[in-house]
């Protein structure tokens, strides 16, 4: 008979099951279901008994609250992603693939916040203190006011933090931390949840900012996954393509600032270096105008970013020709191909299609639709677009172009980087002041005719 309070969790996705099974119905993982004993509870971690509580203290919505003082690291790309600096007492999760540079970023951040007077403590559960020291030496941070510890026991970590009260604690990584109050293996969902909860509560109670590193699994989720994302105030992802030196820090949730903000870094032999002008970097590898290459004027968070979209279209002998996308949504590509076929009579059947966002950036904005369509047609017809032209606009299923946000900022950025022409949806009013000549287009068919001439 199952013990009272026994529960079964999938250690891959966190789904709760009433009984054990070989395969998790929620995510399909095999052998991932583990028994979690202990009280089934709310986030407080304590079973609700009969005892009456003390009641809550209620306050008015209008009670004055002083603005949160922020600590700035001086690493602008990081401060902006945090929403203007580090909020005291905030809990932050930094997720990313193993080896992408999380430890490097956080050691540099700790050093910078140390110089700002936060007296940070860096707890490594993955590397020995000597290894972290070696990395610090390599990064030229030997003298930085950061104290180190190699520890995985949550009890030891919390006791030390209680005593020391630093302004910032970095826990690298949350997956290595284990609580002895929880009867399950380190790395399991229960352990992860307990550790993240304790650390988050500590952060709030003591006003100590806690940054936790979380490794992302193959499936692209922070292992032990979403279960801790809701607990923390801010979730940042550190992304990048292997083989590319660009790294992007992206906020996917932020209680203290805008989400979807990005910070761009370059990984060098001496650590991560800020990239103040990402557009110049993303366009740096572009040489002479080539067919299939289009510059998209995008917005990432609050900042305009120009990127090159590359397409290659080649005849295929396969019954189902290949469609390969890097840095964009495959479903969205299928939609653009269908719209081109149905509304502009430009078929791609029998052709392989490859789409790539240069520089390893991942774009989620629908405003990239028109630039993708332009790259596809340009590749298919082997006609290069003018080198001084940027493109943006969302394409609807009818083939009509829809307006996009912040057109002015996009055009200003394009002008700054020496572009002189733009193709944009007809609703775009702004632009005159940027000095860019704008071709306003109402639908995709009009765009094809205007830019590429007629098809046969
Ligand atoms: P790391 O921060 O250990 O990644 P994570 O904590 O996300 O697993 O960084 C790993 C990679 O970064 C490693 O392959 C080496 C590279 N690297 C540099 O290129 N330059 C540097 O200065 C450092 C410290 C690391
Ligand atoms: Mg690491």
What confidence tens digit (pLDDT) does each residue in 229-288 have? 899 999 999 988 777 788 999 998 999 988 888 899 999 999 999 998 888 877 877 777
Instruction: Please state, in angstroms and rounded to a whole number, the distance separating the CA atoms of residues 342 and 397.
Output: 9
Distance 173 CA to ligand 2 centre (A): 7
- Nearest CA, atom 12, ligand 1: 101
Q: How far apart (Å, rounded) are the C-alpha atoms in residues 274 and 170?
A: 21
Domain presence at residue 390: yes
Q: What local confidence, expressed as pLDDT, does residue 2 receive?
A: 43
Is residue 226 within 8 Å of 14, Cβ to Cβ? yes
pLDDT band for position 45 (cuts 50, 70, 90)? very low
Ligand 1 atom nearest the C-alpha of 173 is 6
Answer yes or no: is 151 within a domain: yes
What's residue 219's pLDDT? 59
What CATH number should be reported for the domain holding residue 163? 3.40.50.300
83 with 226, same domain: the answer is yes
96 CA: nearest ligand 1 atom:
7
Are residues 318 and 211 part of one domain? no
> Does the pLDDT value for residue 39 go beyond 70?
no
In a domain, 85, yes or no: yes
Q: Of the residues 245, 276, 307, which one is the last residue of a structural domain?
A: 276
For residue 266, count CB atoms less than 10 angstroms from its CB and return exposed for 0-12, middle for 13-18, buried for 19 or more: middle
Name the pairing type of β-strands 401-402 and 394-395: antiparallel
Q: What six digits make up the tokens of 366?
A: 């629908």
Answer yes or no: do 198 and 286 share one domain.
no
- Integer Cα distance of 11 and 165 in angstroms: 33
Q: Which domain range does residue 18 map to?
A: 6-37
State whether 14 and 128 are in the same domain.
no
Same domain, 135 and 197: yes
Is 304 inside a domain boundary? yes
Distance of CA 206 to the CA centre of its chain: 28
Rounded CA-CA distance 411/279 in Å is 13
Cβ(359)–Cβ(308) under 8 Å?
Answer: yes
Q: Whose CA is nearest to atom 9 of ligand 1?
A: 101
Measure the CA–CA gap between 250 and 406, rounded to whole angstroms. Answer: 19
CB 200 within 8 A of CB 91: yes
When divided into structural domains, the chain yields a total of: 3
Distance 359 CA to ligand 2 centre (A): 23
Ligand 2 is an ion; its neighbours by CB within 5 Å are 103
**Ligand whose nearest atom lies closest to the CA of 126:** 2
**Is residue 82 included in any domain, yes or no?**
yes
Pairing of strands 7-10, 16-17: antiparallel
Same domain for 332 and 228, yes or no, is no
Residue 54 lies in a domain: no
| CA distance readout (Å), 178 to 39, 168, 231, 238, 423 | 18, 20, 17, 24, 55
Same domain, 260 and 299: no
Q: Where are the beta strands (DSSP E) in 39-189?
A: 91-96, 121-124, 147-150, 168-172
Residue 442 binned pLDDT confidence (cut-offs 50, 70, 90): very high
Average pLDDT value for the chain = 88
CA distance 120 to 7: 38
Looking at the structure, tell me whether residues 233 and 178 fall in a common domain: yes
- Cα three-residue angle 163-169-173, rounded to 5 degrees: 120
Q: Does 410 reside within a domain?
A: yes
Q: Which of 276, 295, 317 is the last residue of a domain?
A: 276
Helical ranges in 327-406 per DSSP H:
330-344, 369-381
Same domain membership, residue 391 and residue 257: no
Range 69-97 burial, b when 16+ CB lie within 10 A, else e: ebbbbebebbbbbbbebbbbbbbbbbbbb
Flag whether 52 is in a domain.
no
Same domain? 239 vs 294: no
Verify that 103 and 146 share a domain, yes or no.
yes
Q: What single DSSP character describes residue 98?
A: T
- Kindly report the CATH number assigned to the domain that includes residue 307: 3.30.230.10
Worst-scoring range by mean pLDDT, 134-148, 182-196, 338-352? 182-196
Whether residue 104 is found in the same domain as residue 167 = yes
């Amino acid at each position: 008979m199952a013990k009272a309070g026994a529960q079964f969790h999938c250690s891959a996705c966190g789904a709760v099951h009433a009984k054990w099974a070989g395969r998790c119905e929620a995510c399909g993982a095999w052998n991932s279901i583990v028994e979690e004993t202990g009280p089934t509870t709310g986030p407080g971690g304590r079973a609700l008994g009969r005892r009456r509580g003390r009641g809550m203290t209620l306050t008015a919505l209008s009670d004055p609250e002083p603005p949160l003082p922020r600590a700035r690291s001086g690493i602008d790309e990081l401060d902006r992603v945090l929403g203007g600096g580090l909020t005291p007492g905030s809990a932050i999760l930094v997720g990313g693939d193993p080896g992408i540079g999380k430890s490097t970023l956080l050691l540099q951040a700790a050093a910078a916040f140390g110089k700002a007077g936060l007296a940070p403590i860096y707890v490594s559960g993955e590397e020995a203190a000597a290894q972290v020291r070696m990395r610090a030496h390599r990064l030229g941070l030997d003298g930085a006011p950061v104290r180190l510890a190699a520890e995985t026991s949550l009890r030891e970590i919390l006791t030390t933090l209680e005593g020391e009260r630093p302004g910032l604690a970095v826990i690298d990584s949350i997956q290595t931390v284990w609580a002895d109050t929880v009867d399950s293996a380190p790395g399991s969902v229960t352990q992860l949840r307990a550790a993240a909860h304790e650390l988050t509560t500590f952060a709030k109670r003591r006003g100590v900012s806690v940054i936790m590193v979380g490794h992302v699994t193959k499936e692209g989720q922070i292992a032990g996954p979403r279960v801790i994302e809701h607990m923390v105030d801010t979730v940042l992802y550190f992304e990048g393509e292997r083989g590319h030196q660009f790294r992007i820090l992206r906020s996917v949730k932020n209680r203290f600032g805008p989400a979807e903000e990005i910070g761009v870094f370059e990984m060098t032999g001496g650590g991560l270096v800020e990239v103040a002008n990402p557009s110049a970097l993303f366009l740096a590898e572009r040489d002479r105008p080539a067919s299939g290459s289009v510059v998209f004027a995008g917005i990432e968070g609050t900042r305009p970013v120009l990127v090159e979209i590359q397409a290659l279209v080649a005849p295929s002998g396969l019954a189902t020709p290949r469609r390969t996308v890097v840095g964009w949504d495959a479903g969205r590509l299928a939609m653009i191909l269908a719209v081109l076929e149905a509304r502009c009579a430009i078929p791609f059947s029998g052709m392989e299609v490859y789409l790539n966002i240069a520089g390893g950036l991942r774009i989620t904005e629908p405003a990239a639709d028109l630039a993708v369509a332009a790259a596809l047609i340009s590749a298919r017809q082997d006609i290069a677009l003018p080198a001084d032209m940027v493109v943006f606009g969302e394409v609807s299923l009818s083939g009509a172009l829809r307006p996009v946000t912040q057109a002015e900022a996009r055009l200003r950025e394009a002008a700054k980087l020496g572009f002189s022409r733009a193709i944009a949806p007809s609703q775009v009013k702004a632009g005159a002041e940027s000095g860019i000549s704008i071709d306003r287009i109402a639908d995709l068919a009009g765009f094809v005719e205007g830019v590429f001439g007629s098809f046969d």
